[in-house]
């Protein structure tokens, strides 16, 4: 009876396992090891459809995405790190793909925002996998550890997507695992049926011999009765000291047990190879840009910059420059226009060496050290910045550095951190503020001792002293005369492999002259006259603003003073009140 009950249970278990393995192998997965969602219709009121990181929270399998437009429009499908996608879509209306139920359903959720447009997705350099164009677009991406998103859009980034989507997850050895489970189920089912149907063969009873009786009188006509002789009981000896008593082997169960255990082991071993690993990385970083993309950015800048310079187009130059640098370029255009100078001759930045720090958010920056095609005596240092994932790269700082100045290698560059403040001779922001204090106080400022001498600074400070001396000769003409230098609250700072920090500081220099009673002043020369003609007189104050682009090299602690590698000046405004 126990055997039959065990057989029924074993058969039921085998049936369930076989059905599960068969359905998985022949309906859900197939020989290509891929679980498909089936083609589903997705649309958005916004400009994109993006998955959440939770949908790709196991790494190892290969993600397959096939997308085609229902309106015969070119489509885009890509995979990127979550922080890139979040920055790209922030503030724009889009649709989130929040759940995938294989093999039949996709669940979405609309996110409110502006109508766009977005930058065309195929022009951006941070995708880890992408496909773009007409017809069905497909990607196959081995899912990596960390928060990643899938994005589906129309290729122009301006119109709402309406698409048919087929998602697939290719799990290595999934089909073989399902077949193994199916086979184990069949074996268990067969064993269970055998245990139910087979019966134990009955034991034949022993025949007793006729009883023999002995007649003491010698009469033999009576048969003798025969009785079965009792078998002697086996002699049992106590076990040897320290050894457990021996048990008789159980008959019939060992083979079944071995088959069941072996089948389960096969399913578990092959199954473990197929189960994707849960993500262990919760935050991702990446280089701000790769070398090829950086070279392309600089090449684009060269073309736009030369075109803007040729016609002094302030709007065009603003498409490739930002920060104080675009103010300087636009001011330079105005000065050249008033002075009737010829446009700047075309030039390009060549053979750039790129320093691209690891980044985990925006804004992102990278640094370039390039040759200048028209000036062999200088190299060009530039800081390039992208405000958001959908923004263009803009150069926000530019300086010419003499080739005689030894610059540290930019490869392996990283952004400076607070921990670096203790390793460097001076913390980067402290160095920038100290430089502003030094220049405001003049050559005799106590802060001057922290810096190596720089010829451009020496010349500028000498000019300030001369101007003050000339005004002093004009008794009563000037109530006060000030030159105030201010460092920005934050300056881009990076640390090289050698431990030297490179800091890019755009100092603001405000000049103010307050006339004495019955005196007035005007600007009497270029470049200030480009902003304030000689005919304009000021009775209350004369002002100008200059930007000084400064590159500081800060050595590790105990390795020397701060070096001013470059100090370039550009007047951006002049006038008075």
What does the pLDDT look like over 430-460, one tens digit per residue? 999 999 999 999 999 999 999 999 999 999 9
Residue of 483, 519, 503, 524 lying closest to 567 (CA atoms) = 503
Phi (first) and psi of residue 368, to 5 degrees: -125, 145
What mean pLDDT is reported for the chain? 87
Query: Do 158 and 118 form a contact (C-beta atoms < 8 A)?
Result: yes
**Assigned architecture for domain 34-171:** Sandwich (2.60)
For 235-328, list the strands marked E by DSSP: 277-278, 286-287
pLDDT tops 90 at residue 529: yes
Torsion of Cα atoms, 348 then 351 then 376 then 527, to 10° = 40
d(CA 68, CA 196): 56
What pLDDT was estimated at residue 169? 85
What pLDDT was estimated at residue 238? 42
d(CA 128, CA 53): 15
Average pLDDT for 151-179: 88
pLDDT tens figures, 245-291: 343 333 333 333 333 333 333 343 344 445 678 999 999 999 999 99
pLDDT tens figures, 81-123: 999 999 999 999 999 998 877 666 778 999 999 998 999 999 9
pLDDT tops 50 at residue 323: yes
Q: Number of helices and strands (H, E) in the chain?
A: 9, 25
pLDDT tens figures, 466-516: 999 999 999 999 999 999 999 999 999 999 999 999 999 999 999 999 999
The full DSSP string for 213-245 is ---TT---SSPPB--PPPPPPPP--PPPTT-PP
d(CA 367, CA 288): 10
What pLDDT was estimated at residue 262? 36
Ordered by start, the domain boundaries in the chain are 1-27+175-196, 34-171, 418-576
- pTM strictly above 0.85: no
What pLDDT was estimated at residue 27? 64
Phi (first) and psi of residue 394, to 5 degrees: -120, 145
d(CA 481, CA 79): 59
Average pLDDT for 69-79: 97
Continuous segment of H or E residues that includes residue 364: strand 364-372
pLDDT interval class at 244 (50, 70, 90)? very low
Continuous segment of H or E residues that includes residue 326: helix 323-339
d(CA 120, CA 156): 5
pLDDT tens figures, 14-41: 788 878 877 776 666 767 766 777 888 9
Residue of 325, 385, 343 lying closest to 361 (CA atoms) = 385
Percent of the chain clearing pLDDT 90 (strictly above): 71
pLDDT interval class at 203 (50, 70, 90)? low
What pLDDT was estimated at residue 406? 95
What pLDDT was estimated at residue 205? 54
Tell me how far CA of residue 161 lies from CA of 42, 65, 67, 352, 355, in angstroms.
8, 15, 11, 39, 37
Residues in contact with 508: Cβ distance below 8 Å, sequence separation at least 6, in sequence order: 485, 486, 488, 545, 546, 547
Residue of 166, 142, 152 lying closest to 97 (CA atoms) = 152
What pLDDT was estimated at residue 185? 82
pLDDT tops 80 at residue 206: no
d(CA 151, CA 139): 11
- Tokens, residue 179: 């077949």
Decide: residue 510, CB within 10 A, 0-12 exposed, 13-18 middle, 19+ buried. Answer: middle
Q: Report helix, strand or coil for 454.
A: coil
């Amino acid at each position: 009876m126990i055997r039959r009950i065990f057989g029924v249970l074993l058969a039921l278990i085998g049936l369930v396992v076989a059905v599960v393995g068969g359905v998985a192998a022949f309906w859900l997965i197939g020989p290509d090891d891929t679980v498909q969602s089936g083609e589903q219709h997705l649309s958005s009121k916004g400009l994109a459809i993006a998955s959440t990181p939770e949908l790709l929270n196991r790494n190892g399998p290969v993600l397959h995405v096939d997308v085609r437009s229902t309106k015969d429009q070119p489509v885009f499908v890509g995979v990127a790190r979550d922080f890139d996608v979040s920055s790209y879509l922030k503030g724009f209306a889009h649709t989130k793909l929040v759940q995938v139920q294989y093999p039949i359903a996709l669940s979405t959720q609309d996110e409110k925002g502006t109508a766009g447009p977005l930058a065309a997705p195929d022009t951006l350099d941070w995708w880890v996998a992408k496909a773009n164009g007409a017809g069905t677009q497909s990607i196959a991406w081995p899912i990596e550890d960390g928060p990643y998103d899938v994005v589906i859009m129309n290729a122009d980034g301006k119109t709402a997507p309406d698409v048919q989507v087929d998602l697939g997850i290719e799990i290595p050895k999934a089909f073989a695992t399902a077949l193994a489970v199916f086979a184990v189920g069949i074996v268990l089912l067969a064993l269970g049926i055998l245990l139910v149907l087979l019966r134990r063969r009955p034991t034949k009873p022993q025949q007793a011999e006729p009883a023999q009786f002995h007649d003491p009188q010698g009469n033999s006509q009576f048969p003798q009765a025969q009785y079965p002789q009792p078998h002697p009981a086996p002699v049992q000896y106590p076990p040897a000291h320290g050894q457990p008593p021996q048990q008789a082997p159980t008959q019939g169960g060992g083979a079944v047990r071995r088959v069941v255990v072996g089948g389960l082991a096969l399913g578990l071993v092959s199954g473990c190879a197929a189960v994707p690993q849960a993500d262990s990385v919760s935050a991702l970083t990446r280089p701000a840009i790769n070398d090829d993309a950086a070279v392309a950015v600089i090449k684009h800048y060269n073309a736009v910059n030369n075109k803007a310079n040729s016609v002094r187009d302030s709007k065009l130059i603003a498409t490739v420059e930002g920060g104080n640098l675009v103010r300087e370029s636009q001011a330079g255009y105005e000065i050249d226009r008033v002075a009737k100078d010829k446009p700047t001759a075309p030039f390009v930045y060549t053979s750039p060496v790129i320093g691209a720090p690891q980044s985990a958010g925006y804004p992102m920056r990278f640094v370039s050290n390039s040759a200048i095609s028209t000036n062999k005596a200088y190299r060009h240092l530039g800081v390039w910045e992208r405000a958001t994932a959908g923004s263009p790269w803009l150069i926000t700082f530019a300086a010419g550095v003499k080739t005689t100045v030894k610059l540290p290698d930019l490869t392996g560059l990283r952004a400076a951190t607070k921990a670096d403040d203790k390793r460097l001779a001076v913390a980067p922001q402290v160095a920038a503020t100290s430089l502003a204090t030094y220049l405001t106080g003049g050559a005799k400022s106590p802060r001057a001792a922290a810096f190596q001498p720089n010829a451009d600074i020496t010349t500028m400070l000498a000019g300030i002293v001369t101007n003050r001396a000339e005004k002093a000769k004009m008794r009563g003409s000037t109530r006060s005369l000030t030159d105030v230098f201010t460092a920005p609250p934050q300056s881009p700072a990076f640390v090289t492999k050698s431990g030297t920090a490179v800091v890019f500081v755009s100092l603001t220099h405000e000049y103010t002259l307050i006339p004495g009673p019955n005196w007035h002043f005007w600007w009497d020369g270029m470049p200030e006259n480009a902003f304030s003609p000689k005919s304009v007189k000021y009775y209350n104050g004369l002002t100008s603003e200059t930007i000084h682009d400064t590159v500081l090299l800060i050595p590790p602690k105990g390795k020397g003073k701060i070096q001013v590698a470059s100090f370039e000046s550009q007047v951006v405004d002049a006038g008075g009140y």
